[in-house]
Structure 1
Amino acid sequence: MTSTSTGAEDAVFDPERGWRLHHQVAVRPEPFGALLYHFGTRKLSFLKNRTIVDVVNVLSEHPDVRSACRAAGVDDAQQAPYLHALGVLAQSKMLVPQ
């Protein structure tokens, strides 16, 4: 059996490493949060609050996801739902490892 996938595309989401938006993803701010559109896969994702938008927007500026969460005002005890949402975004290829 052969695999045609690359390591970066199939990376398992790990909050201890750095992540960023895929270069083909556009972010459109909305009153409820934001819409993410991936021009490569044509997938659309909804970010349902401003805090997760803030986290996504600062991901590439931090060495790991937990640092990005803290920078967006999410303390360690509150990170679980944000980490879950970011994991879903990574599975849908909206986020890629740095």
Structure 2
Amino acid sequence: MDVAAPTADLDHLAAHVDMLSQVERQITRLKKARDELRSVVRRDLGGAEAGLIGGEVAVTNKTVMRTSLSANLVKLCYPRVARLCMETKPVTTFLLVP
């Protein structure tokens, strides 16, 4: 951490920061569980777009086309235009320090 950076005393929020840390760990575990469960369901769907439970649609798994702009391709083909369109702006990151 930059020693010249401004600091704030958060002693009164120690419980909040601890709970936030716990929540972050839970989110990590839940995301892993979600991914594993989705994988099992998708495997059994095979190529089907919908899965039924009790005769009713319970899940869908559809593929759609999405158009996007490739920044790398623009830089390669039109480097001058890419440089003209570049912008630098501040980005703030919030991190829990272990």
Fold conserved between structures, TM > 0.5: no
TM class, shorter-length: under 0.3
Q: Which structure features the higher share of strand residues? A: 1
Larger Rg: 2
TM-score (norm: length of structure 2): 0.19
Higher relative contact order structure (alpha carbons within 8 Å, sequence separation ≥ 6): 1
Q: Which structure features the higher share of helix residues? A: 2
